[in-house]
Amino acid sequence: MPILEINDLSQRFGGLQALTDFNMTVGQREMVGLIGPNGAGKTTVFNLVSGFYTPTRGEIRFEGRNTSRLKPHQVTALGLARTFQNIRLWNDMSVLDNLRIAQYHWLGYGLADAVWRTRRYREREQRIEVKCREILEMMDLGEYAGELPKNLPYGLQRRVELARALSTNPRLLLLDEPAAGLNSADVDGLIRLIRWVNLEFKIAIWMIEHQMKVVMSLCQRLVVIDFGRTIASGTPQDIQNHPQVIKAYLGDVAL
């Protein structure tokens, strides 16, 4: 069974048809890409899949279960995490707290217990902290646990966001333009990091990315959308030589 299955998904914002009859499957542990010009509807797809938008039409199934109408924290609790095109970290909390808070914020761990400071609560707090520190270590961020994200270089902030997503134990991770704003040395590091995350955490990764180098070296399959419609899908090689894709990108550049 695929981990994610999307059937005829459509989204309309007032008079704008942002996405039309979008279909997609993601296999267990697969790495796939979603590409297309600016405004094509890529982030809209991720906002639908992660519960930030409710689709106008169509169906999203995560591990066989219909998640089309669930809220973001419910989707996260089922095992789907994401990062954002523009980093969304809590800037006035330490890096460690960004990961800890995600456990309550998105996984809804017992807030009632927190009020009473029960022993069960304290033990769970401890477990959460140990786990979050472990993820930070794995991501080479251990030394920044006490720092505020806003004081870190941009590339590290991106890595913290990835660590936070991983701290919720996802089986599918959505990355929205993870290489945006990175210099070319950082992009090479990111490619290695994403490949390592895929193998180490044994999870599926679906990424939106403008930098062809990233998707070409990581993804087994790519889907291309333009004006909310799928114009091509296939292996990176198929896509590179696809006339309609070349035209969509040249059109974008010409703008």
Instruction: Select from 11-19, 76-84, 130-138, 212-220 the region that touches ligand ADP (CB under 6 A).
Output: 11-19
- By CB under 6 A, the count of residues binding ligand ADP is 11
User: Which one among 36, 55, 149, 170 touches ligand ADP, defined by CB under 6 A?
Assistant: 36
**Contact yes or no for 167/178 (Cβ under 8 A):** no
- Closest CB to ligand ADP among residues 111, 253: 253
The Cβ of residue 229 has, within 10 Å, a number of other Cβ atoms equal to: 15
Smallest distance from Mg ion to CB 38, Å = 7
Smallest distance from ligand ADP to CB 218, Å = 19
Q: How many CA atoms lie within 13 A of 226 on its CB side?
A: 13
User: Does 196 help bind ligand ADP (rule: CB under 6 A)?
Assistant: no
- The residues in 8-67 that bind Mg ion, with binding defined as CB under 5 A, are 42-43
Smallest distance from ligand ADP to CB 166, Å = 23
**Contact yes or no for 163/194 (Cβ under 8 A):** no
CA dihedral 223, 85, 18, 13 (to 10 degrees): 160
User: Rg for the chain (alpha carbons), in Å?
Assistant: 19
Distance CA 104, CA 168 (A): 10
Residues with Cβ within 8 Å of residue 241, at least 6 apart in sequence: none
- Closest CB to Mg ion among residues 36, 149: 36
Residue 55 binds which entry of Mg ion, ligand ADP, none, CB below 5-8 Å type-dependent: none
Site residues for Mg ion per CB under 5 A:
42-43, 85
Contact residues for ligand ADP, defined by CB under 6 A: 13, 16, 18, 36, 38-44
